Amino acid sequence: MLGVVMHAPGEVRVEEREDPQIIEPTDAIIRLSATCICGSDLWPYRGVEPVEHTPMGHEYVGIVEQVGEQVKTVAVGDFVVGSFVISDNTCEICQAGFQSKCVHAEFVAATSGTQAQKARIPHADGTLVATPGQPDPDLIPSLLAASDVLGTGWFAAVAAEAGPGKTVAVVGDGAVGLMAILAAKQLGAERIIAMSRHADRQALARFYGATDIVEERGDAGVAKIKELTGGLGAHSVVEAVGTQESFMQAIGATRGGGHLGYVGVNHDVKIPGIELFFAGIHTLGGPAPVRRFLPELIQMIWDRKIDPGRVFDLELPLERVAEGYRAMDERRAVKVLLRP
């Protein structure tokens, strides 16, 4: 089959990779209908994370082609959406809703790069969710978004306790930040402040529910959020970037007793303990337990109540993956969908 390999920073190619096989009786093999490039794929692309001949991709939707003998909840021919983290969905941690910390958790990126024609998904019952039927083609981008960016943005908004009567500030205007805005609106937030300085992303932020835009960053951004919230700060803040500046901006923007949800995969961030201490805030973050939200998110997409697929602003055949990475790296695209 064809699959994407990153040979070194900046060097992404499609090449012939071995077809995945059932290894464990709980595995499924899926044929991908769509996959995409994640903001976190840019870390190795930019040389911030090590990379060496690595199969890429962890977001996926597709049709089940083969299942191991113990797989019960998905069958050959089903259209499925899966989380970017493998989970058994039965252990104590999964039952508490933290499937990304499952005792069997593995990153899909490590088990089977999904920027490919096929993928092996371990613990298929605990990782995949079948859609109610074969989806209309126009729903596929939205279903694909549920696999990571929507699920992650949704988790961030839930972690930040976005809800009725709340002012929510979102740090980061990438795909995850935009999905957190969508989530905050669905969760009933009263006011949603997008922190963004790019006109196209501001427009998308408003489409998804942002009521206010703040262009300032760092301390100036914090001051602006305070100004908009009677000096108190936002009830709920989402951090969806992962840099030192964005993380400190998010802490500073949260009111005392407020909630910070952080999902930006961070690098070299060092949180000064004393600043976090005196902030007096709740925090929750990390790799999102997407599996917890998948049934609900799939249904909302199926019922056309939400349109997360709009976050994909460039679509390419898998063969042209290198163009996709370049477009995201240069911020010409928010998120790139790939057709295998």
289/340 with CB nearer a copy of itself: 289
Q: Classify 245 as helix, strand or coil.
A: helix
Shortest Å, Cβ 218 to a copy of itself: 17
d(CA 149, CA 204): 15
Q: Classify 133 as helix, strand or coil.
A: coil
Is residue 253 a contact point for a copy of itself (CB under 8 A)? no
Distant-in-sequence, close-in-space partners of 314: CB < 8 Å, separation ≥ 6: 324, 327, 332, 333, 335, 336, 337
Residue that is written with structure tokens 């709740």 in the block: 282
Q: Classify 192 as helix, strand or coil.
A: strand
Is residue 255 a contact point for a copy of itself (CB under 8 A)? yes
93/205 with CB nearer a copy of itself: 93
Is residue 8 a contact point for a copy of itself (CB under 8 A)? no
Shortest Å, Cβ 274 to a copy of itself: 6
Shortest Å, Cβ 41 to a copy of itself: 17
Distant-in-sequence, close-in-space partners of 157: CB < 8 Å, separation ≥ 6: 168, 180, 183, 184, 187, 189, 236, 238, 261
Q: Find the Cα–Cα–Cα–Cα dihedral 91, 92, 95, 99, rounded to 10°.
A: -60
Is residue 167 a contact point for a copy of itself (CB under 8 A)? no
Please identify which residue in 47, 227, 278, 331 interacts with a copy of itself, judged by CB under 8 A: 278
272/295 with CB nearer a copy of itself: 272
Among positions 91-130, residues that touch a copy of itself (CB under 8 A) are 92-93, 96-98, 100-101, 103
Among positions 288-307, residues that touch a copy of itself (CB under 8 A) are 289
Question: Distance from CA of residue 84 to its chain's centroid?
Answer: 8
Tell me the site size for a copy of itself, rule CB under 8 A: 41
Residues that bind a copy of itself (CB under 8 A): 92-93, 96-98, 100-101, 103, 230-232, 242, 244, 247, 255-257, 262, 265-274, 276-287, 289
